[in-house]
Structure 1
């Protein structure tokens, strides 16, 4: 029987080490922290998003998300506009500079992930892992105990 506590420890340690490796390389080569890369990537997949939407997607607090949005806006990579549907919130969108930063950094992230994950696992195992992690993530995302955006 699988030791779920040991599995959890492996997942957390892998995530931490992989995050640190990607973050270090992105900062060194693109002056773009991994967290900001993730924000840009999310925004590139839609026209606009509210800060709350970003917080929910990243599983962090609205306060932490607002600070990250402030930094990205100061760097000229995103812009905020008034939300016509809700005066209490604003909409965030990528700028041309944000798209350039994302396009430049994406091959670096993909190369690093290939080194750490893609080159280690055979394609069928990687496909299974992706499927199973997606299932686990979906389960976690429907549980209100895992949503930090509202805190």
Structure 2
């Protein structure tokens, strides 16, 4: 079904397909590079980055950020803890939950992986960003996607039920 816009009709199913396929291909390419250079996958990198930037986050906070279930998030944190990259600490304001923190090894790993991630993402996006033709279009896409994400999160759309 096409919807009218100021630039003409937009084929929303095709837009959805393009968004999903681009995300999947970028995610997989980043996954391969992170695994090759640091022995981690993209989802682990994202969790570690989140915890680096938000010390004292809870499992529920991580689950909400990534729109995944608390059970799946807890299992992922268990794996990161077993690898020695994350620790659970008692939550002084709620004994039912714990606060998550990176270990020194986790911090070293995520900092090194962040450089690889940023470099490879810049390679993958090539001429679509920076001071080149097409950058203003990519900037517009980034703005639209940020607005869409804010609206989806504000309205709690797509959140897991379990």
What range describes the TM-score normalised by the shorter chain of this pair? over 0.9
Taking the TM superposition and a 5 Å limit, the aligned residue runs for 1:114-125 are 114-121=122-129, 122-125=134-137
On the 8 A contact 1:118/1:126 being kept in 2, the answer is no
Taking the aligned partners of 2:56 and 2:35, their CA distance within structure 1 comes to 25
Taking the aligned partners of 2:156 and 2:10, their CA distance within structure 1 comes to 26
Deviation at 1:100, TM superposition (A): 0.5
Deviation at 1:123, TM superposition (A): 2.5
Q: TM-score, normalised by structure 1?
A: 0.93
1:16 to 16, 24, 42: 24
Matched residue, 1:26? 34
Instruction: Say which SS state the counterpart of residue 49 (structure 1) adopts.
Output: coil
Structure 1 runs (4+) greater than 4 angstroms displaced: none
Taking the aligned partners of 2:28 and 2:128, their CA distance within structure 1 comes to 18
Pair 1:73-2:81 in alignment: yes
Deviation at 1:84, TM superposition (A): 1.1
Supply the RMSD in Å over aligned alpha carbons: 1.3
Matched residue, 2:15? 7
On the 8 A contact 2:128/2:138 being kept in 1, the answer is no
Taking the aligned partners of 1:145 and 1:114, their CA distance within structure 2 comes to 30
Task: Identify, as 1 or 2, the structure richer in helix.
Answer: 1
Matched residue, 2:63? 55
Instruction: Say which SS state the counterpart of residue 91 (structure 1) adopts.
Output: strand
Structure 2 gaps of 5+ residues are 1-8
Instruction: Say which SS state the counterpart of residue 54 (structure 2) adopts.
Output: coil
Structure 1 gaps of 5+ residues are none
CA offset digits 1:59-84 (Å, max 9, x no partner): 11111101110111111111101111
Instruction: Say which SS state the counterpart of residue 146 (structure 1) adopts.
Output: coil
Matched residue, 2:3? none
